[in-house]
Amino acid sequence: MRALVPLVFKKATELRDRWNSIMREANVKPGEGHLINVCSWASRATFDVMGSAGFDYEFNAIQNEDNELLKAYTEMFEVAISRQSGGWRTTLALYIPLWDKLFPDNTSRFVAKCQKVIQRVAGKLIQEKKRKMADAEEKGETYQGKDLLSLLLKSNSSVDLPPEQRISDEDILHMINTFMFAGTDTTSLAMTWTLYLLAKFPVVQDRLRTELRSVLPSTSLESLTQDEIQSLYATIADLPYLDNVIRETLRLIPPVHSSIRVATKDDVVPASSPFKRKSADGTMVEEDVKQILVPKGTFIHVPIEGFNHDKGLWGEDAWNFNPDRWDDLPEAVKALPGLYSHILTFSAGPRACIGLRMSTIELKSFLFTLVANFKFTDSETHKIGKANVMEEFYED
């Protein structure tokens, strides 16, 4: 993870410079604003980080959007996310995964087209990496690549690994897809919502900027040595208000708002307080229910956002954006499980997120660079909506 820090700083300063040059080109005068689609830029930045750190691949997305692999991923993500709105096809595909393959609609055909591009380009990437490793071996050297793909290929070709435990190139390709899907837009959404909330709550933004500027180095970030960057990041990582702002955003707007699990055996889930059960047509079926029976095979919707917003645990102000709450959490919250800060944003248990540390480095470094240099305000012309549990943001 240490090796990630200089790369993330490089990308954060690149994004800062790109925004500055856009404003210069648009002739924006000091104090004037300029409309920027933060969501799209944040996504391009996290693609760049994942490309370099994950696969030693330069999407170069902050500079241009023409890369064909980048286009395939972004278009595929957009389509996949638009499908999340539900509908009978989505539900059917959940129970019969082959359905989409047997009876593809336009969306499935489009995703298949993107997948073909990914298979071709990422497949070439895997072959090139293997060739570099073989070349190094021929010279009696060890290939030094530190990206995820190199480490994966190295451990996969290790002589100690029994052949039946080696993973195929096809599975490695699937892993690249998983990392691109799980590790880019999640972090960029977290970054975007943080900047959005800062725009909505200028007092919080000003207080955060003051904290960030207090640790700005006296020379430019570009002139820092690797050791100085590491030491700057260690300082940023410990900034209390930045930490609170990030935790509060991740609590209030988790980028993954819900998940699904399947019960592998019959189970009983106790209710924290008795509830009334209604049938699908809204008529009352049972009063004073104290537990939920879960038969094996049931699909369970895990409401991450609901867990993070529970007023019974977090207090009446649970739906408010209040970074200071992290200085004095209710006892009930402290007792909650979760990989991160008693919230379910990164899930929990054996299949919890493995990218928590990577996304923390990205969020802290990018927010440091951007908030110390720019002031964010809500767009007057573009309405930004929020679905799921909350539709509005409440002032504390």
Interface residues toward ligand HEM, by CB under 6 A: 178-179, 182-183, 186-187, 190, 254-256, 259, 345-347, 351, 353-355, 358-359
Q: At what angle do helices 356-373 and 226-237 cross, to 10 degrees?
A: 90
Of the two residues 182 and 224, which places its CB atom closer to ligand HEM in the complex?
A: 182
The smaller minimum CB distance to ligand HEM, of residues 21 and 91, is found at 91
Closer residue to ligand HEM, CB minimum distance, 39 or 224:
39
By C-beta, is 221 or 353 nearer to ligand HEM?
Answer: 353
Q: Whole-number minimum distance, CB 57 to ligand HEM, in Å?
A: 15
Closest Cα partner for 363 from 253, 223, 257? 253
Q: Which of 303/315 has CB closer to ligand HEM? A: 303
For residue 148, give the 3-state DSSP assignment: helix
Q: How far is the CB of 234 from ligand HEM (least distance, A)?
A: 20
Alpha-carbon distances of 396 from 203, 283, 309, 322, rounded to whole Å: 11, 37, 15, 6
Q: Which is nearer to ligand HEM, 64 or 178 (CB)?
A: 178
**E strand or H helix at 48, and its extent?**
helix 38-55
Find the shortest distance in angstroms from Cβ 359 to ligand HEM: 4
What is the C-alpha to C-alpha distance for residues 329 and 311, in angstroms, rounded to an integer? 13
Classify each residue of 70-102 as buried b or exposed e, where b means 16 or more C-beta atoms within 10 Å of its C-beta: bebbbebbeeeeebeeeeeeeeebeeeeeebee
Does 114 carry a binding-site annotation?
no
The answer to whether the CB of 73 falls within 8 A of the CB of 114 is yes
Rounded Cα distance, 19 and 156, in Å: 41
Contact status, residue 292 vs residue 246, Cβ threshold 8 Å:
no
Q: For ligand HEM, which is the closer residue by CB, 6 or 183? A: 183
170, two tokens: 């096809």
Minimum distance from CB of 186 to ligand HEM (Å)?
A: 3
What residue type is assigned to position 263 of the chain?
Answer: A
The least CB distance from residue 116 to ligand HEM, in Å, is 23
Instruction: Report, in Å, the least distance between residue 30 CB and ligand HEM.
Output: 33
> Who contacts 161 (Cβ-Cβ below 8 Å, separation ≥6)?
155
Least Å from the CB of residue 378 to ligand HEM: 22
Q: Which residues are annotated as a binding site for heme?
A: 353
